[in-house]
Amino acid sequence: MFSTVSTKLRCLAWSLVWLACACAGQSEHANTSDFAVNGTVSDDASGDAVHGARVSFVADTLEQTSALTDDHGHYAMVVQVSAGVRFGTLHASATGYQDSAQNTVYFDGTARTVDLALRATGK
């Protein structure tokens, strides 16, 4: 009988630890907001799509997200920022191109479209 009570207490203790971890993750997520960012990256001279460019977003509180452009130069990402922070910087980089300027992105809704242009190196 003692062994059965001990096993039940051990299971209860592990259940409480699991529940505490799950709740901690939820409360942490409750303090963040998700925003969608998408757009295209193109060559500034030709207007051609730049595929394989890395688009990076950094929130004011240093949360970071990045995505690669597809064959048509399109990118899409969901950025997660701390509650109350509704902006960050976005820039693109690709082999053979200078990094784009950093664009400040303000979220006044849940989605934002930002197109970026890259200048080929040597131009």
Q: What is the pLDDT of residue 30?
A: 56
Top-confidence residue, 81 or 103: 103
Kindly report whether the global pTM for this prediction surpasses the value 0.85: no
Band (4; pLDDT cuts 50, 70, 90): low
CA 68, 57, 87: angle at the middle one, nearest 5? 145
> What does the mean pLDDT of the chain come to?
79
What tens digit of pLDDT does each residue of 49-101 get? 999 999 999 988 788 999 999 999 999 999 887 777 778 999 999 999 999 98
- Residue 3 pLDDT class (50, 70, 90 cuts): low
39 contact partners, CB below 8 Å, separation of at least 6: 55, 74, 75, 113, 114, 115, 116
What is the reported pLDDT for 73?
Answer: 97
Question: What SS3 class is residue 74?
Answer: strand
| Pick from 54, 59, 62, 49: nearest CA to 88 | 59
**pLDDT band, residue 8 (cuts 50/70/90):** low
Max mean pLDDT among 26-30, 79-83, 92-96, 118-122 falls in: 92-96
